[in-house]
Structure 1
Amino acid sequence: MEPRIEAGRCGRIQRDTLETSILVELNLDGDGKCTVTTGVGFFDHMLTLFAKHANLTLNIKAKGDTWIDDHHTVEDVGIALGQALKQAFGDKVGIQRYGHAYVPMDETLVRTALDVSGRPFLVYEIEGLPDKVGQFDCQLIEEFCRAVAFNSGLTLHIDKIRGKNAHHILEAVFKSFAQALRESARIVSDSLPSTKGVIE
């Protein structure tokens, strides 16, 4: 059963192209419950982790041309998720704005720092991965992170401090990104967190 997206800081994006059809619904003030069906098993696993650790309520339904490869589906889910996050952040009044998290997984340690700045940028320094984890192309995670950052207006830095196991590394990427997002989205005041008076 799909989790209900209740009233609150919510976003909903339906994105249809000749390559993919994607629905993303989320609530920033959620409970970590989600339903994710993209047709890409490893990606579903990572998005489920993301929702849990960001404490989002999240529904994602995606159908894509995975008989070609997973690229269009992964990137377009990132685009739609980023646009839904931008909707949910709204005018950004009261948010913490900045967030960071270090996530260890056995031998792996990954750090994410982000700013809900309205100025999209991605630094993604995750070196030493194999081409694939199972059937999943590891390069697609950078494409996903870029799509989220540029469509939500995040300045996003993700770094591998250490790690050898590719599954651990990518899982730590999603968990640290999620924890940093959760921190940045917290309501901590009733004012806009900018001396400029605007976050575009």
Structure 2
Amino acid sequence: MRTAEIHRNTAETRIDVTVNLDGTGLYTVSTGIGFLDHMIEQLSRHSLIDMTVKTVGDLHVDQHHTTEDTAIAIGEAVAKALGDKRGIARYGSVYSPMDETLTRVALDISGRPWLVFKAPFTVQRLGEWDTELIEHWFHSFAQAAGITLHVENLYGSNNHHVVESCFKGLARALRQAVEIDPRKADAIPSTKGML
């Protein structure tokens, strides 16, 4: 089983995360930010990665530390569960439609973290979540997971649909990339011999 557990405790947040890359999309999520919970639930359900996420953060200050540290902990858990990445497909890409919205997500579990994020928002908040923190969540996740991640909203007018298509797109691309390739299950997918 490709599983991992991360405990991240700082002066700003206390976070416990578990992941099972070979799960069925079961989740228990509590960050104190309802819309963020909803997005992480979508990430779990559509990637088929089982997740438990429990975050207690300094929301009396603002949502920044809770958002950032939760993404870091999830990314660290995914990276840890992947181990040496032997046998994984490595790449994933999807078009993620949601009603009037279409988002393209492509990623490479490369060990070289990078984010390109193109998704404009026209409101300051979705629920109580500050929309300026959405890109930061993706950045923190990509850095901690060690993945190259491109997220581009091609069009869409409803901000809820735009962000949800980004998370669902990440989920489906991640599902492809972490799958074991039966033709090369014993090999690390790189000519370098490591990722």
**Could you state the TM-score of these two structures normalised by the residue count of structure 1?**
0.94
> Which residue in 1 is equivalent to 2:93?
100
> Which residue in 2 is equivalent to 1:63?
56
- Write the distance in 2 (CA, Å) between the matches of 1:67 and 1:153: 31
Mapping of 1:184-195 within 5 angstroms?
184-188=177-181, 189=184, 190-195=186-191
- Write the distance in 2 (CA, Å) between the matches of 1:16 and 1:110: 34
The residue identity in structure 2 corresponding to 1:159 is E
> Which residue in 2 is equivalent to 1:117?
110
In the TM superposition, residue 129 of structure 1 has moved relative to its aligned partner by 3.2
Task: Classify 1:182/1:136 alpha carbon distance in 2 versus 1 (closer, same or farther; 3 Å).
Answer: same
Match of 2:119 among 126, 133, 139: 126
- Write the distance in 1 (CA, Å) between the matches of 2:171 and 2:30: 19
1:134-167 per-position Cα deviation (integer Å, ceiling 9, x unaligned): 3211111111111111111000000000011000
- Write the distance in 2 (CA, Å) between the matches of 1:163 and 1:55: 26
Report the 3-state secondary structure (helix = DSSP H, G, I; strand = E; otherwise coil) of the residue aligned with 1:112.
strand
Report the 3-state secondary structure (helix = DSSP H, G, I; strand = E; otherwise coil) of the residue aligned with 1:86.
helix
Contiguous gaps of at least 5 residues in structure 2: none
Report the 3-state secondary structure (helix = DSSP H, G, I; strand = E; otherwise coil) of the residue aligned with 1:82.
helix
| Root mean square deviation, CA, Å | 0.8
In the TM superposition, residue 128 of structure 1 has moved relative to its aligned partner by 3.9
The residue identity in structure 2 corresponding to 1:77 is T
Mapping of 1:79-94 within 5 angstroms?
79-94=72-87
Tell me, yes or no, if the aligned pair for 2:107 and 2:149 is still in contact at 8 Å: yes
- Write the distance in 2 (CA, Å) between the matches of 1:86 and 1:134: 30
Mapping of 1:41-56 within 5 angstroms?
41-56=34-49
Tell me, yes or no, if the aligned pair for 2:103 and 2:166 is still in contact at 8 Å: yes
Asked if 1:39 corresponds to 2:42, the answer is no
Q: Which deviates more from structure 2 when the two are superposed, residues 21-30 or residues 189-198?
A: 189-198
Match of 2:155 among 130, 139, 162: 162
- Write the distance in 2 (CA, Å) between the matches of 1:129 and 1:22: 30
Report the 3-state secondary structure (helix = DSSP H, G, I; strand = E; otherwise coil) of the residue aligned with 1:26.
strand
Tell me, yes or no, if the aligned pair for 2:98 and 2:161 is still in contact at 8 Å: yes
Asked if 1:24 corresponds to 2:17, the answer is yes
- Write the distance in 2 (CA, Å) between the matches of 1:82 and 1:143: 13
Contiguous gaps of at least 5 residues in structure 1: 1-7
- Write the distance in 1 (CA, Å) between the matches of 2:2 and 2:122: 36
The residue identity in structure 2 corresponding to 1:24 is V
The residue identity in structure 2 corresponding to 1:118 is G
